[in-house]
Structure 1
Amino acid sequence: MHRPSRRLLFRAGAVTVAGVAGALVRADPAHTPDSSFVTLRRQWRHVTLGFDTGADAGADAGADAGADAGADAEAGRHGVGVGFEAGAEPYRTWLAEAGRRAGRYRAAMAPGNASLWPDQPFPSFVATPGRLLAMARAYALPRTGLTGDAGLAAAVAAGIDHYRRHVYADGADPAGNWWHWEIGVPRALLDAAVLIGPHLGEKRSAALRDAVDHFVSESRLAHYSGTSTAANRVDLCVVTLLRAMLRADPGKAALAVSALSPVFRTVSEGDGFYRDGSFIQHSTVPYQGAYGVTLLDGLATLFAVLRGTPWEVVDPTVLAMVERSFAPFVRDGFCMDLVRGRGVGRKPFGDHDKGRALAAAILLLGEVAPAADRARWQAMVKGWAVRETCRPMLAAADPAFHARLTAVLDDDAVPAAPEPIEHRLFPMSARAVHRRPGWCAALSMASSRIGHYEHGNGENPRGWHTGSGMLYWWADGHADQYSDSFWTTVDPYRLPGTTVSTRRLPDGAGPAWGDTCPPGRWVGGATDGTYAVVGQHLNGLDSTVEAFKSWFFLDDAVVCLGAGISGADGVPVETIVDNRRTAAPLTTDVRAGWAHLDGHGGYVVPAGLRTLRERRGDRDYVTLWLDHGLDPDQAGYVYLLLPGASRERTAARAADPGWARVLANSARQQAVQVAALGVTAAAFWNGGAAGPLAASAPCAVLVRESSDATATVTVADPRRDLAELTVTWARPVAAVLRAGPLLADAATGDRLRLTFGPSAALEGGSATVAVRLP
C-alpha cells in the first residue's frame, strides 16, 4: 500500500519535500519556515479570494500584519493571483453585498446549546460553517464595509469555537456522512480561521487544530484506498495544508504535498485517471463533471498557493489531463451529464455550472503551467465563454474567476478557439464523444467495469437506464437540451438511444454508489480520431434484456444498429430513437421512412417508428421509439440520426438507402459501409466475416479509404484480453506504410491480412495501420 513521504530536509533554512512521484518540486533557499507560512497565507487569500492583498486588506490587521504585508512583493514576484479592481463594477457591488450579508449573519448570531443561528439547528454541517466563512471573507476582502473590522473577526472566532465545542469537538462521534467531518466542515472552519489570522487566538486555534486532527488523522493520508482516493484525497490534502497554515506546521505542509503523489499516477483499475483520459471515482463511475471538477480545482488551488514556497509542486500528468480528460466533455461552456454521476438532477443548468467551474479551474491552473499550455487553455476557455449563451460565464462568476476570465476575454492576443472536430473514445469508462461542424454527440454505456448509473444520498434514484446506450446530442442552438429540468421531467424509461425493458423499477433499483455493473465485457470500439464504430453488449439493469448495439459515428450522421434484442420480463422492450425536450413541430413520412423535428434534426427509420408528444411537468417532449414487442426474441433495428439536418436533407437521405449499406446486423456481427466516405466498419461480437472484413476473434474494425490511394485500418479489442487477432480486408493492397502498435505480421497482395499480438496493454484503445492501395 502506498505510504506518502513525510521526510523534511532542513539545510541553510530551506525546506525540501521528498516523495512526490512524477511531480516537479522546487525549493527556494531564500525562505525560512516562518516566512514560508506568511507567503502561504498571503497566497491563499490571493488565490481563493481573487485579489492582490494590499494595505486595505482585512487580513493584515493583527499581530502578523507586518510580516504578511512584507510578503506582498514575494507573492507578486511569483505571479500568484490575478486580482480585480475593488472599486470597479461589478466587483464594487459584489463586495458591498458580501459585506451586508456578513453583517446580517453577525447580527443574527445567537449562540445556544442547539445552534449558532436559530434557523440552523446543529449539526448544520453546511450552513453554519458556510456563514462563518462568508463573514471571514467579508473581513478579509476590500471594500466590503467590514474590511478589517475587529468586531466581525471576533464574532467569527467566537462562532468557530462555539461550533467546535457543540458539534466539531475533539472526540465527538462522527455520525452520518464522513465527508462533512473530514472535508466539508474542517475546510470551511480552517479557511475562516486563516482569513481572520490572530483574532482566533492561540487557545481557540489549538482546540480547532486538535479537533481537525481527531477527524482527519494523518493515517487518512497513509493509505491510498477507500474514501481517500482521487478527488477525496485532494480535498483531504487541502484540509491538511490549511491545518498547517493555522500554526505554521512544516510537517503538516509536507504531508499535504507528499500525499498528493498517488493522485498523479495513471491507473488501470479503481479511482483515478486512466491512460485514455477516463476519470473514475467510486470505482465504477465516470466523474470528470463532479468529483473531477473538485480534483482539478483543488490541485489548481494547491499548485498556485504553493508556488514560490519550499513545497511548490506542479505535476505534468495533471496538466496533460486538462485536454485529454476534461475538455472532451465540455461543449460551449457546459459539462456533459454522462460524466456527472448522481449529480445530474440536483438543479437546472447544473451542467453549465460545472462547465463554469471547470473553466475557472483551468484558468487558475494555467497561471502555474508552462506558457504554451496556458496559451492553449486560455484560447479554449475563451471559445467556451464566447459560445456559452444559455448561462453566460461572467454572469454567475465569483470575483476571482470573473477577473481571470475578463482578462482573457479582453485580450485580443488570445483567440477564441473553435470547437474541435474529432472523435474521442474512452473505452475504460464506456464513454464516447463525437464532434462535427455544427453538432456533437456523446454516448453513455455500462460494462463489466462501469455501472449502469449511480444513486446515493437520495440523489438520482431513477437514473436506471443512463448506461443502456444513452445517446446525447446537441445541434447548434440547443446547448440547454438536457439542462433545463430535463432530469426531473423526462420519462426515465425513455432516454434517447437506449434499449430497455418497460418493467417498472423501484427508486434506487440496484446497489448504491455505482455498483451496478452488468456482465457485458465487449463495450468500446475503434476510432481513428475522426470516425468511429462503438458497440455495447447490453445487459439490462434488473431485467433479462440482452442486446447488441452499435453506433457508427460519421460526418453528418450516426448509424444505429441493434440486434439480438431479447427479454423475458413479461413486458415490452423498446428502443428509444430520441426523446427531445421541445415543443417544435414533428413531421413524419411513414411510407418514406423518415421523421424530422423542426430546428433540431432528422431521423431515417425504415420501419416501425412510433411517436408521442406529451407535456411532463411544465416541459414539452417529443418521443420517437421502436416497440420490439412483449418478450422479444432476436429483435433488431436500423436507423440514422441526422443532427441539425433540414427536412429536405432528411428526406433525401431516406430516399438514398444505398448511402449507408448495412453489411451485417446480428448478434455475431454488425457492420456498415458508406462508400461516399470510404468507410467500412464492423463490430465483431464473434469472429467471422461481414462484407469485405473478417476477424478471427471479437473486435472492432474501422477502415477508411482516401482519395490519394491510401487507407487506414483501425482495430481495437474492447474486451482487452486477446492473445492474438487476425483481421482480413478483401481489398488489394500494395504495401504497409505505417504499422500501429501490436502489429506482429502483415501480408499484402489481393487482400490485406493483419495479425496483432496481445491486446491487454492497449486497454481497449485503437491501433491504426496505414496502407497504400494499388
Structure 2
Amino acid sequence: MEISRRQLLSALSAAGLVAVIPSEPASAAEVAEGSARLLANTVAVFAGTVESNARPETAAKLAAIDTAARTNLTLMDGAGADELFAGLVLGTDEANLNTAFRWLYEIALATRTPGGPASGLYENTVVQRRVIDGLGWLHERYYGDQATGYYGNWHHWEIGLSQHISKTLALLADEVKAYRPDLIRTYVVSMDAYLRNGVDGDVNLDSRFHTGANLADITTNRILQGALLGDDVRIRKALTDQLTVFVTIDPYHLNHGVTDGHYADGSFIQHASVAYTGSYGKALLTRVVQTLKILDGTGFAHGGELVPTVHGWVRNGFAPLIFEGWMMEIVKGRAVARTDTGYTDVAVVVEAIVDLASLTTGADATALKSYVKYIRSTSRTALDPAGFVSPVSIVRYADIIGDATVPPADLNPASRSVAFNAMDRTVHRRPGYAFALARSSDRISKYEYMSGENLMPWFQGEGAYYLYLSGQDQTQAYGVDYFTTVSPYGLAGVTAPVERRRTIPELYGKPYYDNPGHPLNFTSSSESQNTYVYFPRGTHRHSGGAVLGAYGVAGMVQSDDVAHRDKGAGLLPDDFVAYRNARATKSWFLLDEEIVVLAAGVGDSAGRAVTTTVDARTAAPDDQVSVTGMLRDGSPWTGPGLGDLRWLRYANATQRTAVGYVFLDTPPVRITLDRVTRSRRVVRTANPDTAVTRTVLGVTVEHARGAQPTRLAYALVPNAGEAGLRSYLHDGPLKVLANTPRLQAVTHTGLGLTAANSFTPGIHEAPGMRMRIDGPASVIVRRERRGLTTVAVSDPTMHRDTVSVLLPGRPLREVTSDDGVRVRATHGGTRLDFDTHHAYGRSFRVTLRGWA
C-alpha cells in the first residue's frame, strides 16, 4: 500500500529517522573510523577494487579510465602560461571551468584504480600531486573569489563543480592531507560559499533549487566533504536533508512547498511541474543508490531501511516507462533533443538496479536481478556495461547475467495500463507494443526547453503520443532523429495551428528571455523564466484518466499556456512573444488490440487553419516501407494525397513492424511519405551539425481556415494486418457512442467494456452507454460473463470531492470496493458515489454482482 508524504514524513521524523540515522552522536574515534570507511567506499565505487578489477569484464572500463587520464595529462603538458589544460579557456565560461575540474578528477581516478593498464598511473604520487597542484591553481585563479565567480548557470557552481572537486579530494584524501593539508578546508569553505540558494552555506529545503535530484547531488557532495573533514555534524545534517527525497509527495500537504519527487502513482516531477522520470529521475535514482553504497558499514546511517522505497520507485515508476530497453520519450523533458537518450538512459537505470539488488536479499533481490536479465534479453541494442560508473557494478552485472538460476522476468505484467496522473502521463502496454501519451494541464508543463535544448518543443504536451512496436530498434523510430525530421507541428497525436513559430534563440538572440528590469525580473534562472519560457503550464485543469485492470481511459482539454494568458492580461513585457494554441477536447481509450482516439471541438478561436496528426512515423531511408489502404466507398487507396479513407496500413518490412489506422468518423485524411534530411542541431544548439535522413510518414487531418470546429474518431491498431483492418468495417465490436466537447465515449462489445470521459459539470449520458455520469469524470465499466460488473472512476480535474455514476436497470449488489466508494439502490438503478476528495486522480474501483 502506498503511503502519503505526510504519513512518511511523520514516520521519518519519529521512528524512521531513528532507524536510518543513529540518534546518538558518535565518538571522535567512531567518526574517524566511519569517515575513513566512507572514503574507502567512495574509492571502491568509482575506481573499483583489486578483486573487481581482476575480472576480465572490467578490462574495457579500466582501459577507458586510463586513456582519459593520459589524454588529460597530455593536455596539461601542452598548457600555456595561463592555462591548466591546453586550449581550455577559463574565466568567462563556467562550462569550461567544470571541464577543467572534471579532467582533474579523471586523472585522480586513474591513480586510484587498481588493475588497470600498465601505464604507471596507479598510486603514482607525482601525478597525484600534479592534480592537487591543479586544484590549488584553479582555486587561486578562477574559483576562490566568489565575488567574481558564479557567472552563467547556477547548477555548475552549486552542484557540478562541487561534485568533481569533492570526488577528487575523496580519491586523493591521504595525499592531499600529506602534501597540502589546508586544501580540503579551503575548498569546503568555498563550496559552501557557492551555495547561494542555500542558507549560511548549507542546504535550504525551502529553495526551489534544492529539491529532488538536485538536492540528492548537493547532499551527497556534502557527505563526502564531511568525511574529508571528519565532521559528524555535517554528515548527519546532509543525510537528514537527503532523506526528504525518499518521501512520497503528498500534493495536499507539501513539505517546504516542494512538488519535486516521487508520487504515489509512480510519477516523478522535477522543476516543480515537469514529468521527468527519464532524466532527473534516473539521476536521483543513481545518486541515492551511490549514497547507500558509500554509507555501507560506516555507522552514519542504516541504508537498508531505505532500500524498499527505492525498489518501489523501480517497480512502479521506471519499469512501466521502459520498453524493450528503451526509455520512453514522454518523461525526458528537454533531454529528448540529446543524441544519447533511449537505450543509454536505461543503461544508467540498470546499473542502479544491479547495485540495488546487492543491497537487498530474498525475493526482492531475485526480482531485481530477473528484471536486469529481462531488459538485456529484450533490448534491441546491446547494453555495454563498460559505460557503467563503477567497475564493481560491472562485475555484479556479469554475475547476474551469468547466473542460470535467475530467470529473465519483467517487473511489468504482460498487459498493463498505467495512469501517471500526477505528471499527466499515460502508458499502455501489451505483448507486441507500448503506447505512451503526454498530456498537460494547469499543474503540469506543456514542454521543457532550456539552455538551447529542445528548441521546438511547443506541442510535446498537447496529447503527443508514441507507439513503440516490439522487435524494432527504437532509434529508427524515435529518439533525437524523430524530433529532427518530424515537423514540430506534426508530432503524432497533436492538434496545432498552421503557423511558423520561432525558437527562443531566434526570438531573443540568446537561450533565454533577458529583461531583469521588468517587475517579473527575467534572468536566466529566475522563476519568471521558468514559468513563461522554460516549462510553461497549461491553463485548463482537465487532464487525467482512469484504469480498470489492464484497460485505461484518458482525457484532456487543450488550452493556451500561461504565457499567452498573461500576455493578454498585460502582465508580460511588450517584446515578450507568446503563442496561441488551437482548441480540442480529446480522449484516448486503451484496449487490447486498439487505441481509440476521439477529438471534438477541433479548431481555432482565432480562425486559423489547424492540422491534427493521426500519426507520424520514421524509418531509415533504405527500409522497405509500404502504405496500403481502402477508401470509404470500398475502392483501394492508390497513393499519397488526400483521401476519404476507411483504413490505412503502414508497414516496415525491414523492421518487421506494422501499424493500422481505422477511421471511424473522420474527415478526409492526407497521407504523405517524404524523405526528410535535417541537421540534429535544429533541435539542440549543442548537437553536432550532423545531417540525418529519414523516411517520414504523415497521416493528418486538415481543418480549414475559418471553419467551424470539427470532430474525428480513429483507432490505432498496432501490428495490424490488412485482413484484420477490413474486419472493422463489418459491424465490428468497436463503436463510438459520443464525441462532443461535453462527452466522449466508446464501447467494445467483445470486451464487454464501455468507457467515457465527461468534461463539463452536469449529468452526461448517450444512447448505448448504459450509464449516467455526474461530470466531469473518467469512467470505465466492464460487464463480465459471470454476472459481475466492475467500475473504475477517476476525477481528471483533481478538484472534485465526489463523483457519481448511475447504472440503470435492476439494482446490483456490492461484492468488493475500494475505500471511499458507496453503493446504493435507487429508483431506476444503482448509484455509485466515489469520494475523490484529495485523491489526486487516483482510480476508485467497485465490483458488483448482477446485470446492469
Same fold (TM over 0.5): yes
Asked whether the 8 Å contact 2:112–2:122 carries over to 1, the reply is yes
Query: Any residues of structure 2 matched to 1:421-460 within 5 Å, and which?
Result: 421-460=415-454
Asked whether the 8 Å contact 1:284–1:514 carries over to 2, the reply is no
Asked whether the 8 Å contact 1:496–1:577 carries over to 2, the reply is yes
1:432-482 deviations in Å (ceiling 9; x for gaps): 000111111010011110111011111112011011101111111223321
Aligned partner of 2:163 among 182, 187, 191: 187
Asked whether the 8 Å contact 2:57–2:394 carries over to 1, the reply is no
**Residue in 1 aligned with 2:153?**
177
Q: Matches of 1:487 and 1:35 in 2, distance apart? A: 52
**Residue in 2 aligned with 1:587?**
628
1:232-273 deviations in Å (ceiling 9; x for gaps): 100000110121122222121112101113212222442122
- 1:616 offset after TM fit, Å? 1.8
**Are the structure 2 counterparts of residues 709 and 17 from structure 1 closer, same or farther at C-alpha, using a change threshold of 3 Å?**
closer
**Residue in 2 aligned with 1:330?**
322
Query: What amino acid does structure 1 have at the position aligned with 2:626?
Result: P
Query: What amino acid does structure 2 have at the position aligned with 1:652?
Result: S
Asked whether the 8 Å contact 2:466–2:492 carries over to 1, the reply is yes
Aligned partner of 1:603 among 649, 661, 667: 661
Query: What amino acid does structure 1 have at the position aligned with 2:542?
Result: W
Quick one: percent identity of the two aligned structures? 27
**Residue in 1 aligned with 2:85?**
117
Asked whether the 8 Å contact 2:21–2:236 carries over to 1, the reply is no
Q: Matches of 2:245 and 2:611 in 1, distance apart? A: 42
Query: What amino acid does structure 2 have at the position aligned with 1:99?
Result: D
What SS is found at the alignment partner of 1:221? coil
Asked whether the 8 Å contact 1:20–1:261 carries over to 2, the reply is no
What SS is found at the alignment partner of 1:263? helix
Aligned partner of 1:555 among 566, 584, 592: 592
**Residue in 2 aligned with 1:35?**
33
Whether 1:104 aligns to 2:71 is yes
Query: Any residues of structure 2 matched to 1:516-665 within 5 Å, and which?
Result: 516-540=536-560, 542-582=579-619, 583=623, 584-591=625-632, 592=634, 593-598=646-651, 599-606=657-664, 607=666, 608-617=668-677, 618-653=693-728, 655-665=729-739
Asked whether the 8 Å contact 1:694–1:728 carries over to 2, the reply is yes
Query: Any residues of structure 2 matched to 1:407-418 within 5 Å, and which?
Result: 407-418=399-410
- 1:290 offset after TM fit, Å? 0.8
- 1:746 offset after TM fit, Å? 2.1
Moved more, 23-32 or 131-140: 23-32
Query: What amino acid does structure 1 have at the position aligned with 2:840?
Result: E
Whether 1:675 aligns to 2:654 is no
Q: Matches of 2:221 and 2:23 in 1, distance apart? A: 22
- 1:365 offset after TM fit, Å? 2.3
Query: What amino acid does structure 2 have at the position aligned with 1:191?
Result: K
CA RMSD of aligned residues (A): 2.5
Aligned partner of 1:360 among 351, 354, 357: 351
Asked whether the 8 Å contact 1:27–1:309 carries over to 2, the reply is no
Q: Matches of 2:320 and 2:82 in 1, distance apart? A: 47
**Are the structure 2 counterparts of residues 714 and 23 from structure 1 closer, same or farther at C-alpha, using a change threshold of 3 Å?**
farther
Q: Matches of 1:424 and 1:393 in 2, distance apart? A: 29
TM-score normalised by structure 1 residue count:
0.89
Asked whether the 8 Å contact 2:35–2:227 carries over to 1, the reply is yes
Aligned partner of 1:292 among 281, 292, 308: 281
Segments of 5+ residues of structure 1 without an aligned counterpart are: 3-15, 55-82
**Residue in 1 aligned with 2:513?**
none
What SS is found at the alignment partner of 1:32? helix
- 1:277 offset after TM fit, Å? 1.4
Whether 1:198 aligns to 2:174 is yes
Query: Any residues of structure 2 matched to 1:57-136 within 5 Å, and which?
Result: 84-86=52-54, 88-109=55-76, 114-122=82-90, 123=94, 124-136=96-108
- 1:197 offset after TM fit, Å? 2.2
- 1:651 offset after TM fit, Å? 2.4
Query: What amino acid does structure 1 have at the position aligned with 2:206?
Result: Y
**Are the structure 2 counterparts of residues 633 and 741 from structure 1 closer, same or farther at C-alpha, using a change threshold of 3 Å?**
farther
1:335-371 deviations in Å (ceiling 9; x for gaps): 1111111111111x41211111111112222322353
Asked whether the 8 Å contact 2:607–2:707 carries over to 1, the reply is no
Q: Matches of 2:388 and 2:213 in 1, distance apart? A: 23
**Are the structure 2 counterparts of residues 91 and 586 from structure 1 closer, same or farther at C-alpha, using a change threshold of 3 Å?**
same
**Are the structure 2 counterparts of residues 291 and 512 from structure 1 closer, same or farther at C-alpha, using a change threshold of 3 Å?**
farther
Whether 1:302 aligns to 2:291 is yes
Q: Matches of 1:224 and 1:19 in 2, distance apart? A: 24
1:503-537 deviations in Å (ceiling 9; x for gaps): 22121489556542121111111111310111011
Q: Matches of 1:222 and 1:673 in 2, distance apart? A: 52
Asked whether the 8 Å contact 1:385–1:393 carries over to 2, the reply is no
**Residue in 1 aligned with 2:244?**
262
**Are the structure 2 counterparts of residues 21 and 646 from structure 1 closer, same or farther at C-alpha, using a change threshold of 3 Å?**
farther
What SS is found at the alignment partner of 1:560? strand
**Are the structure 2 counterparts of residues 507 and 17 from structure 1 closer, same or farther at C-alpha, using a change threshold of 3 Å?**
same
Asked whether the 8 Å contact 1:319–1:369 carries over to 2, the reply is no
Q: Matches of 2:838 and 2:501 in 1, distance apart? A: 39
What SS is found at the alignment partner of 2:278? coil
**Are the structure 2 counterparts of residues 685 and 207 from structure 1 closer, same or farther at C-alpha, using a change threshold of 3 Å?**
same
Aligned partner of 2:114 among 142, 162, 165: 142
Q: Matches of 1:210 and 1:19 in 2, distance apart? A: 34
Q: Matches of 2:428 and 2:649 in 1, distance apart? A: 21
- 1:383 offset after TM fit, Å? 0.6
Moved more, 670-679 or 129-138: 129-138
Query: What amino acid does structure 1 have at the position aligned with 2:837?
Result: A
**Are the structure 2 counterparts of residues 22 and 177 from structure 1 closer, same or farther at C-alpha, using a change threshold of 3 Å?**
farther
Whether 1:153 aligns to 2:122 is no
**Residue in 1 aligned with 2:231?**
249
**Are the structure 2 counterparts of residues 190 and 737 from structure 1 closer, same or farther at C-alpha, using a change threshold of 3 Å?**
same
Query: What amino acid does structure 2 have at the position aligned with 1:619?
Result: R
Q: Matches of 1:740 and 1:622 in 2, distance apart? A: 45
- 1:741 offset after TM fit, Å? 2.7
Query: What amino acid does structure 1 have at the position aligned with 2:440?
Result: A
Q: Matches of 2:247 and 2:551 in 1, distance apart? A: 30
- 1:612 offset after TM fit, Å? 0.5
- 1:395 offset after TM fit, Å? 6.3
Moved more, 729-738 or 521-530: 729-738
Q: Matches of 2:87 and 2:606 in 1, distance apart? A: 50
Aligned partner of 2:816 among 720, 735, 738: 738
- 1:27 offset after TM fit, Å? 8.0
What SS is found at the alignment partner of 1:106? helix
Aligned partner of 1:689 among 765, 772, 777: 765
Q: Matches of 1:486 and 1:223 in 2, distance apart? A: 38
**Are the structure 2 counterparts of residues 23 and 503 from structure 1 closer, same or farther at C-alpha, using a change threshold of 3 Å?**
farther
What SS is found at the alignment partner of 1:152? helix
- 1:396 offset after TM fit, Å? 4.1
Asked whether the 8 Å contact 1:17–1:25 carries over to 2, the reply is no
1:701-750 deviations in Å (ceiling 9; x for gaps): 10011222112011111112223332012244541101223223422796
